[in-house]
Every structure is written in structure tokens, then in C-alpha cells.
Amino acid sequence: MTNLTPPFRADHVGSLLRPRKIAEARKAGLTGDALREIEDREIPALIRMQEEVGLKVVTDGEARRAFWHFDFMGMLDGLDIIELDGDALGFKGATVKQIAEVNGPLDFPADHPMLEHFQFVEKNTTVCPKISIPGPSAVHFRVTPATNKHAPYADQDLFMADIAKTYRKAVQAFYDAGCRYLQLDDIFFAYLGDENQREIRRQMGQDPDRLIKKYAWMLEEAIKDRPADMQIGMHMCRGNFRSTFVATGGYDAAADAIFNQTSVDIYFMEYDSERAGGLEPLGLLPKGKKRVLPGFITTKTPQLESLDDLKRQFEAASKFVDIDQLGIAPQCGFASTEEGNDLTEDDQRRKLELVVKTAEAIWGEA
């Protein structure tokens, strides 16, 4: 790879529509070496597409995953992904049955497969490789009292401390594998701006405001000792499954915690609809090197945003945060699950081209 280092003005959250041959192989039930052979053949083309549109940072599109978070979590020690009889996640107009179950002490195994997933990207790109993994809050949020089968974790502080330790080990493992740009998808900070989600947590005996503080603590515990040349990104959204969503509400409740109680370098923030609330919380970003990439470009629909409208949105954002601390990325991934959102590969490419075009128009660089 070259010496390109983040942050970049143009970036994306990570997941991309699954290449047809990978999707067909998974649908046909291929697993193990047979599936990996097809993935290894198809993912380089996905990487080249990102390079061709002008991005200086690329991922494997999460093409080896079924879910943005469950695959990573199910590969941890002490945690399994199970299926319920009914809906588990609460998407509007769509059903997802999977949920996480803790059945023993949490740990990050030395042979976690996603370490090799990152290294494959690194070997197949000439720009900056990035991997996106679910953040620490994802483990806690996706485990309910009913699916917490490890008795000591009835003590929520102990549970969160072990999540933080597991992620601290993961961060170091990715660094040792060569990763210098790691993104943690900690979307549940945004969920906790939704009153319905807050009430669900109260029904579980959890204080949503305390959760925000503890989630920030877990995140900072995981990343605070990272080497100086490792950049940490953080993505927040309100659900993304086949172009549907779960939550509605602004960043007001979480902004201070994410900006001022963590040392995250780069923030990917969903801002493609009124569901994300106003831009005012951006005013809490401390002056300095931290950067926010507002997701004014949606991955949920194929309609292409106009450059003039995007410029106006950045002008509005610059009233709350210095334009030099901003960049652009789509609001979420294009395929948070293997089913993908309701748009085509051509639509996806045009959206990514627009990300680069916008960055070049506003900052003179991608």
C-alpha cells in the first residue's frame, strides 16, 4: 500500500452490495474453502471499483459477512448468535430473527477470522485499507436479560468491563495484523435518541442515559491505549436492513459522550433524513483534529443527491463546526446485511462517485 493515511475527505461506512457470484454461492449453501475461493476471486474487483471512483480508502465491502455485526460477534469466545421464533430487532416493515446470546466469559480469540479478512484487503489495494467491525455497544445492546446465560454477567458493570477488555484485545490484534484504520460501528448511541428504544431499555431495567455514558466508557477503554499511528473511526445510524430502519431521533443525548468522552478520530454520522434530527449537536465537537463525516448521501434509495444541495447542507453544518473538521461519506453501508439495500450496483457506484466529487468540490481533495 502507499503511505496514504486517514482521515480522508471522502470515505464510506464499509459495506457494499454483495457481488452476484458471492450472493449465489451463499444462497446455494456453499461454505468453508469452496465459498472462500469465490470470495477471494470476487473481492479484488470490489476493491478496484472503490479505487476507480477515486476513494483513497477501501474495504472488502463486508462481502464475507451475512450481518454487519453478528458475524464478528459470533466469532468471539463466549458469544453465540441464535434465532428466535419472532422478530428480534424491530425494523419497520421487515423481520430479523437473530439475537446474541452470552454463554461464557467473553474474549477475543487470537485466530479471529476477520484479522485475515483485513489482511486480504491490504494485500489487494494500492490505497488505505480499512475494516469496519461492530463497536463494544453492539455486544451489550444485542444481549437481552433473557439471552444473558453467563450468570456472573447479571452484574452489568462486570459484563461491560469484560466487553471493554475483549475489544481492547481486538484493537491491538488488528494493529498487529497491520491495520492502521479501524472503524467501530457503535450505532446504538443513535438508537438511544429514540424514545421508543429508551423505553425498551427501561423495561429491561436499564437507564438509557447511564447506558450512553457506559457505552462511551467501554469505547474509550477499548481504544485509549492504541498506538499513535492507528486511527479510529466510529459510525452511528438508526438501523439499515433492506432500506428499512429502526430508530428516530437526534444526537442530542449522545453528542457530548461521543465527542468529548472518547478519543475517536473520525465520526460517520447518519444525516440523510429528518429522523437524524438537527445539526446543532455538531457544535459540541471539540476544536482540533477530530473530523465528522455527515451522511447527507443516502444508501437507502437510488435517487442521486445534487451537488448543489450537498454544498448547501455543508454550509449549514459549518455554522456549528469548522468546515475543515468535516468530510463526507454516505449515511450508512449499502448492504448492512447480505440482502443489501434497494438499489443497484450502478446506483451504488454513482453514490460513491458523488462522495468523491463533493469532497473535491468543497475541499479540493478526496
Grid look-up 468453508 returns 32
Residue extents of the structural domains in the chain:
20-363
Query: Which set of grid coordinates corresponds to residue 100?
Result: 446474541
Question: What are 63-93's pLDDT values in tens digits?
Answer: 999 998 999 999 999 999 988 765 555 545 5
Query: Which set of grid coordinates corresponds to residue 170?
Result: 481486538
Cβ distance 116 to 158 under 8 Å? no
Mean per-residue pLDDT, 42-62:
98
Q: Is the model's pLDDT at 145 over the cut of 50?
A: yes
Closest CA to 59 of 67, 70, 50, 68: 50
Closest CA to 71 of 134, 137, 160: 134
Mean per-residue pLDDT, 221-242:
92
Closest CA to 57 of 182, 202, 219: 182
Phi and psi angles of residue 143, each rounded to the nearest 5 degrees, phi first = -110, 120
CATH number, domain 20-363: 3.20.20.210
Mean per-residue pLDDT, 141-165:
95
Quick one: pLDDT band at residue 264, thresholds 50, 70, 90? Answer: very high
